[in-house]
Structure 1
Amino acid sequence: MNTIVHKTLVVQLQAGATDRFPVLAHLSYDAADPFAVTVVFSHDGRVLARWRLDREMLTAALARPVGVGDVRMRPVSTGVWEELRLEFLGDARPDGGRQCAVVFAWAPALATFLRETREVVAPGREEIRIDDFLQDVFAGG
């Protein structure tokens, strides 16, 4: 059985108040890290950002707003187009504000990816090997 799921989506990075431009979002899920989805955003072959997201949070965000910290997500409907708005807050700016990136992903494609991850590890069946986890923590990983 395959324990890794990959999917590449074209998403829209918001620039300014309303302009958007396409970037790639490379989604990865590995049963060895069953609670996380890794997303690498790239454009023209360059990595723009890499985030590890909670799989359960991503699933919940397809139906309702979630997140209060550095990552916030909510569904957005424009009638026929269903999107997931992902807001990533970064480092502080000199003016006291924070860097912010907003990305819009096509919700049905993200839902398909999440369904494939559930086929690998069903919700509630996630396991973490505590000895390996502690060894990783103590090693600084």
Structure 2
Amino acid sequence: MNPFVHKTLVMQLQAGAADRFPVLAHLQYDAADPFAVTAVFTHDGRVLARWRLDREMLADGLTRPVGIGDVRFRPVSTGMWQELRMDFFGDARPGGGRHHAAVFAWAPAVAAFLRQTHEIVPPGREQVRIDDFLAEVFTGK
């Protein structure tokens, strides 16, 4: 079985009070890093941001608000349209506050991606190879 899952989705980015605009989100899962999902957001061929997200938190965000730090997820329903709202907070602004962007994804597409990752490594069956991790730490990789 392939230990990788990759899915590219069109999502909507909203920064500040601006209107939403489409961005591509490249979601990647690697069984070698079973707790994480990497999300790379691009627009016009440029990488806007790269985030490592907690897979369980991403799944929980489809059904309830989660997160208290730099990354927060919550479901949003507008009629029949089900979205996952992802809030990302960055560095402090010179005048106060923090940089903030909200990304809106079609929730069924995110759920389908997560189901594929669960086929590779079911929730609760994740394993971390401590010896490999410590070797990386000590070699400075």
Q: In which range does the TM-score fall when normalised by the shorter chain? A: over 0.9
In structure 2, distance between residues paired with 1:16 and 1:60 = 25
For structure 2, the residue ranges without an aligned partner over 5 or more in a row are none
Q: Deviations over 1:59-91 (max 9, x none)?
A: 000000000000011000001100000000001
Cross-structure match for 1:93: 93
In structure 1, distance between residues paired with 2:98 and 2:18 = 19
Cross-structure match for 2:64: 64
Cross-structure match for 1:116: 116
Cross-structure match for 1:19: 19
Mapped contact 2:16–2:101 kept (Cα < 8 A): no
What is the identity, as a one-letter code, of the residue corresponding to 1:128?
Answer: V
Cross-structure match for 2:136: 136
In structure 2, distance between residues paired with 1:42 and 1:18 = 18
Mapped contact 1:15–1:21 kept (Cα < 8 A): no
- Structure 1 residue 15 displacement after superposition: 3.7
Go from structure 1 to structure 2 and tell me whether the alpha carbon gap of 1:122 and 1:43 turns closer, same or farther (over 3 Å shift): same
For structure 1, the residue ranges without an aligned partner over 5 or more in a row are none
In structure 1, distance between residues paired with 2:99 and 2:44 = 22
In structure 2, distance between residues paired with 1:10 and 1:64 = 22
What is the identity, as a one-letter code, of the residue corresponding to 1:81?
Answer: W
1:66-81 map, 5 Å? 66-81=66-81
| TM-score scaled by length of structure 2 | 0.96
In structure 2, distance between residues paired with 1:85 and 1:2 = 29
In structure 2, distance between residues paired with 1:77 and 1:140 = 45
What is the identity, as a one-letter code, of the residue corresponding to 1:46?
Answer: R
Cross-structure match for 1:107: 107
In structure 2, distance between residues paired with 1:137 and 1:71 = 25
What is the identity, as a one-letter code, of the residue corresponding to 1:78?
Answer: T
Q: Deviations over 1:5-52 (max 9, x none)?
A: 000000000144361000000000000000000000000111000000
Q: Tell me how many residue pairs correspond in the alignment.
A: 141
Of all paired residues, the percent bearing the same amino acid is: 76
